[in-house]
Amino acid sequence: MPTYNRRAALKTILTSTATVGALGFASAYAPGDKPAQSSKPLKNNIKQSVCRWCFQDMPLEKLCIAAKEMGIRGIDLVGPADWPTLKKHGLDSPMCNGAEINLADGFNDPQFHARLQKQYAEMIPKVAAAGYTNLICFSGSRRGMSDEVGLANSVKGLQPLMALAEKHKVVLVMELLNSKIDHHDYQADRTSWGVALAKKLGSEHFKLLYDIYHMQIDEGDVIRTITDNHQYIAHYHTAGVPGRHELDDAQELNYPAIMRAIKATGFQGFVAQEFIPRQADKLASLRQAVQLCDV
pTM for the whole thing? Answer: 0.87
Contacts of 101 by beta carbon, 8 Å cutoff, 6+ apart: 112, 115, 116, 119
CATH of domain 6-293: 3.20.20.150
Report d(CA 47, CA 236) in Å as an integer: 11
Decide if pLDDT at 222 tops 60.
Answer: yes
According to the model, what pLDDT value does residue 40 have? Answer: 79
Q: Which of 295, 286, 272 is nearest to 134 (CA)?
A: 272
According to the model, what pLDDT value does residue 21 have? Answer: 37
pLDDT digits (tens, 9 = 90+) for 100-150: 999 999 999 999 999 999 999 999 999 999 999 999 999 999 999 999 999
CA atoms lying within 13 Å on the CB side of residue 97:
25
The C-alpha angle 13, 226, 43, rounded to 5 degrees, equals 75
Q: How far is CA 74 from CA 5, 32, 141, 168, in A?
A: 23, 27, 29, 21
Indicate the average pLDDT of the chain. 91
Alpha helices by DSSP H, listed for the chain, are 6-17, 60-69, 83-88, 113-129, 147-168, 191-201, 212-218, 222-229, 255-264, 282-293
